[in-house]
Structure 1
Amino acid sequence: MLHSENQYTRLRWFLTIVGLFLYVMDIWTDVVLALKYFQEREFVWTGLTLMFVLAGLLLTQIFSYAWYRDDMAEKETISGMSKGGLAALHLLGIGIFTRYYHLLKQGFKVVWTKTNTVEESEDVHHKLFCLATDLSMLKLFETFLESAPQLLLQLYIVLGHAECSVLQYLSMVFSFLNIAWALVDYRRCLRRSLPHVSEMPSGTPTAVYLLYKLCTITSHILSYALLLVLSTYTTVGLTVVWLLGTTWTHLLQTNFCSSAGLEHLYRAIIGVILTFTFFNVKGQDTRVAMIIYYSFCSIINVTAPLLVAFLKPELLQMETLLTVSCIICVCSVLGLVCLVLYYLHLHPRENRREEDEVDGLKKETENMRRMRSFLQP
């Protein structure tokens, strides 16, 4: 009999629908907000808001199709569709929705019916987790290419230009929720789909991990927003940070993609992710890298409010500046405390097997290789 952590349950099927809802609402609120800016003749805000939406959509379509194509090297079709049909769907920008459809359709058949044997059941549930993991990887890309930059942009507009509207707050709320959902969903799906990695316990470990990520990301984005309010030349600094992250990823010689061009694009996207939060790029011991990264983040979090307060206090009302500074301080401390607590006491210990013994499979599939080579929590 399958253990509950190895089953794709009805609850997880419903949570997939929740993830789809947050994804759609995040994009919808941003598009409606861009239309509002356009009507107000704020063409710069319109362009930037739409740019982040399109960047997330375009790059996730590229990787989604590339992964389908790689998987087709092992079978003629995916879910009854040819390469041409899948290419057309991705050109129309609905590759992610295609994956949601396939996962929900296959998951529905499994969670409301029973397979005949334990072996068949294990195989079916594992394949569902593999589908969910591919989707969570793409959602992670979309989150840091669209939701996180969008949250930063709207915070900058609200803080620096005193423009507050319900749509702006809705956009920020759904961006924040999408970030939170993508982080936990990706972490849990990845650990379930890799047999050599221990399952992430629910409850306290998940809550502490989520707090660690959300608090550090929130403090970092707020600090970036204050620096942007202080000077738009902060964009140059952010570009430098992105280049450093991309260069570090390149020096680690990642081997995630099946082609050199996609690998370079992947490394550039990881550079964007590292601008907002830390991830283990190659599944190695990164204690020193994490210390350096979060030391740098802490310096930014302390420096940003002080620079605004002493150099240009007229840019923000004192009450607003104090509120934002307190949030940055509390989130920074709480995030670092949760980080230390999680990795010292709550992090699942890995139980690695030989690479050719993956749940009885003699050959690692392309899907398994992709998951093993992706960002590690």
Structure 2
Amino acid sequence: MLDSDSQYTRLRWLLTIVGLVLYVVDIGTDVGMALRHFGEKQYVWAGLTLLFVLAGLLVSQIFSFAWYRDDMKDGLTNPDGRGTVAGMSTGELVVLHIFGMGVVSRYYHLLKKGFKVVWMTPKCSTVEERREEHHSLFCMAADLSMLKLFEAFLESAPQLILQLYILLDHCKGSVMQYLCIVFSFFNIAWALVDYRRCLRRSLPLIREMPSGLPTAIYLLYKLCTITSHILSYSLLLLLSSYSTVALILLWLLMTTFTHLLHTNFCSSKGLELLYQAVVGVILTFTFFNVKGQDTKVLMTIYYIFHVLINVTAPVLLALLKPEQQTGPFLLPVGCLIVVGSVLGLGSLILYYAYLHPRGKWREADEVDGLGNETESMRRMRNFLHP
């Protein structure tokens, strides 16, 4: 019988459905918000809202298609050299991704295969065969979690900044706008939860990431620091629309930093540059370990800069635009920034001081089967680490 850590359980299968619903609803509310802006003749807001949706979709489709092609060439996942992957030929994959259905198709195949494994009588006769099937499901989920992380920071996070800026600037919002904000936040939260879970389960060579309190504290740190940062960016935009230039420069700085680390995530140079640009976007919102190395100094510098932005934004707005102090949202937003920063950084210190797993990664051996690394495992190993 498989232990719980090796099983893709029925609960995980059901949570995959929740992830799919959040993905579809988040995109749906953003498109609905764009249509509302367009109907109100706010063409700039409509264009930016759609731009973020398309950016998330386009990048996720590009990487999804590239990973399907990599899996097709992988000798472990495709030992027979078949010209299909997940039952689809290259031409079918191209059409599927052109219409933006790459991520949805991955959800479909994961749910379909997962249903056969966790809800039906297993056909595998040995424990090793069952472990292999469950591990295959975790690898499929890992690819999805990485694509979701891309989509969350390319679409949901910028969408939050934009809609919060519009809400603060007009001091009122619509039901659709509130729904857009809520589902964008939930999509980011879910992407972080799902990625952390899949990172732990899909790589047998990674250090164990404890569940329970350590995971809760880690997620509290991430969500609080990201939320406070997004609110601060919104206040800076409220101070001046030219703050977008500063955000672009910050993204370029983070992208350059990632490039100088010589990442090795993609199978082609062009895709690697795109990956580095996407990581640059992610690093403008939160810190991730890009190369899986000790980054205590870099993390300290990053969060000093993080706090500086969080303090500067509300102070500058209060000093340079005192008329904003009478608005109904400025005081609550300022309080949320302070509380989020304190709670997030407090959780960060608590997690890395007492709860973060220590020790070296396990060595590969024949028992664990760690020497045979699939393309999915290689991607997750070279991706962002907590």
TM-score (norm 2): 0.95
- Supply the distance in 1 between the matched residues of 2:166 and 2:359 (Cα, whole angstroms): 44
Residue correspondences, number: 377
2:102 maps to 1:95? yes
- Matching residue within 338, 349, 374 for 1:340: 349
- Paired with 2:201 and 2:152, the residues of 1 have a C-alpha distance of 21
Which residue matches 1:170? Answer: 179
Q: Which amino acid in 2 is paired with 1:251? A: L
Structure 2 residue aligned with 1:43: 43
Cα distance in 2, alignment partners of residues 318 and 35 from structure 1 = 27
Stretch deviating more after TM superposition (47-56 or 321-330): 321-330
Identity of aligned residues (%): 70
- The SS at the match of 1:72 is helix
Indicate the SS of the match to 2:306. Answer: helix
Match of 2:275 in 1: 266
Deviations 1:76-110 (A, max 9, x none): 22122111111111111100011000100000011
Does the 8 Å contact 2:207/2:362 carry over to 1? no
How many Å separate the matches in 1 of 2:152 and 2:214? 22
Which letter does structure 2 place at the counterpart of 1:364? E
The structure-2 alpha-carbon separation of the partners of 1:291 and 1:85, relative to structure 1 and needing over 3 Å to count, comes to: same
Provide the rounded CA distance (Å) in 2 between the counterparts of 1:168 and 1:204.
Answer: 34
Question: Structure 1 CA distance, aligned partners of 2:161 and 2:42?
Answer: 17
* 1:243 pairs with one of 252, 255, 262: 252
CA distance in 1 between partners of 2:249 and 2:364 (Å): 38
Match of 2:296 in 1: 287
Match of 1:7, as an amino acid? Q
Structure 2 alignment gaps of length 5 or more: none
Query: Match for residue 23 of structure 2?
Result: 23
Q: Residue 85 of structure 2: SS of its match in structure 1?
A: coil
Deviations 1:124-175 (A, max 9, x none): 1111000000000000000000000000100000001234100000000000
Distance 1:231 1:357 in 2: 60
Structure 1 position 2, deviation (Å): 1.5
For 1:321, the equivalent position in structure 2 comes to 330
Query: 1:200 is paired with a residue of what secondary structure?
Result: coil
Deviation at 1:353, TM superposition (A): 3.2
1:1-377 to 2 correspondences below 5 Å = 1-74=1-74, 75=78, 76=82, 77-112=84-119, 113-114=121-122, 115-317=124-326, 319-349=328-358, 351-354=360-363, 359-377=368-386
Shift of 1:350: 5.2
Quote the offset at 1:317 in angstroms: 2.2
Is the contact made by 1:160 and 1:316 (CA closer than 8 Å) also made in structure 2?
Answer: no
> In the TM superposition, what is the alpha-carbon distance from 1:198 to its structure 2 partner?
3.0
Give the alignment's Cα RMSD to 1 decimal.
Answer: 1.4
Contact 2:165 2:237 in 1 (8 A): yes
**Residues 214 and 362 of structure 1, relative CA distance in 2, 3 Å threshold:** closer
C-alpha contact 1:64 1:138 (8 A) present in aligned 2: yes
- In the TM superposition, residue 327 of structure 1 has moved relative to its aligned partner by 0.7
- Do the aligned partners of 1:229 and 1:315 also contact (CA within 8 Å) in 2? no
